[in-house]
Amino acid sequence: MKAHVLGSAAGGGFPQWNCNCPNCDACRKGRKGLRSRTQSSITVSADLENWLLFNASPDILQQIRSFPALQPARALRDTAIRAVLLMDAQIDHTTGLYMLREHRQPLELWCHALVREDLTSGNPLFKVLAHYCGINWQALSLDQAGFGIASVPGLHFTALPLLSNAPPYSPHRDQPQPGDNIGVTITDTATGKRLFYAPGLGQMEPPVWAAMQAADCVLVDGTLWTEDEMIRLGASKKTSRAMGHLPQSGPGGMLEWLEELPRSTRKVLIHINNTNPILDEDSAQRQELTRRGIEVAYDGMELDL
């Protein structure tokens, strides 16, 4: 199984278009050790011919251009993206679907019924795309037995609910329901290798921790370094957890959890916010991650399992 990181930043990308925080300002000025990033998305495949797209960010066209495997050019109109799986209904994870409207047949789209509800009412993406390629919706199950996707052979998927937050336009905002946000274990059926993917994770629960412990690689929420990061910078009035993201540092933070995983587990942070000091490769925070054996995802990163 190969997982390719198409985008590694949180909503807004890096540098964010209207942000002049120290990171964004330094990146625009070309300071060494800060690389730009598009908004988070990955794609996975077992046979390297049929790919599943996880989320569709607003940067999807740039991301497809950057990864030639997704455009095999076997016909006048072609794509290697066989299906799309949505982790949630957030704008930065779904807007890219509009950019795929030229598809020759309905997009095969896997998501939970609550996500479909949000993308039919609060943000009527399903209704808009019905005027173009249309959507072949597949209800994503939270059953522990998991599911396969026929168009992406060789992989098995197990989804589990995460305590995070629904989009601002969702009736479940600040009142999370199982299925609003998910994490997914991706298993290569030939090798048994497992990747656990959770770009939005607000609280560690026993099923999530069990999935992480069972994985060979975890690709998890690295949005903010501290609980009050956005507040201290004056960028928001909300804490990291209130935004649906477990901070990396501090008691009960992501670093403490990752420290408890087996040494053989590959640990990678994704969905990095533009304010997070770990984006600076020369920062003390980045050095702390390196000391702990934790990687920071970047656009174009590949994980082979």
What residue spans define the domains of the chain? 2-304
Name the one residue in this structure whose structure tokens are 């390196």: 290
- pLDDT exceeds cutoff 90 at 273: yes
- pLDDT exceeds cutoff 90 at 174: no
pLDDT value of position 172: 83
Beta-carbon contacts of 255 under 8 Å, excluding residues fewer than 6 positions away, are 248, 249, 288, 289, 292, 294
pLDDT value of position 136: 97
| Phi, psi torsion values for 156, nearest 5 degrees | -125, 145
How far, in Å, are 213, 263, 269, 295 from residue 288 at the CA level? 22, 16, 13, 10
Average pLDDT over residues 181-200: 97
Q: Please tell me the number of Cα atoms within 13 Å of 242 on its side-chain side.
A: 9
- Write the pLDDT tens digit of every residue in 22-41: 999 999 999 999 999 999 99
Q: Which of 9-13, 65-69, 175-179, 183-187 is least confident?
A: 175-179
When comparing pLDDT for 58 and 173, which is higher?
58
- pLDDT exceeds cutoff 90 at 186: yes
What is the homologous superfamily of the domain 2-304 according to CATH? Ribonuclease Z/Hydroxyacylglutathione hydrolase-like (3.60.15.10)
- pLDDT exceeds cutoff 90 at 242: no
Average pLDDT over residues 146-171: 93
Q: Percent of the chain, pLDDT > 70? A: 100
- pLDDT exceeds cutoff 90 at 274: yes
pLDDT value of position 243: 87
- Write the pLDDT tens digit of every residue in 191-236: 999 999 999 999 999 999 999 999 999 999 999 999 999 999 888 8
How far, in Å, are 11, 84, 102, 230, 247 from residue 97 at the CA level? 16, 9, 10, 29, 29
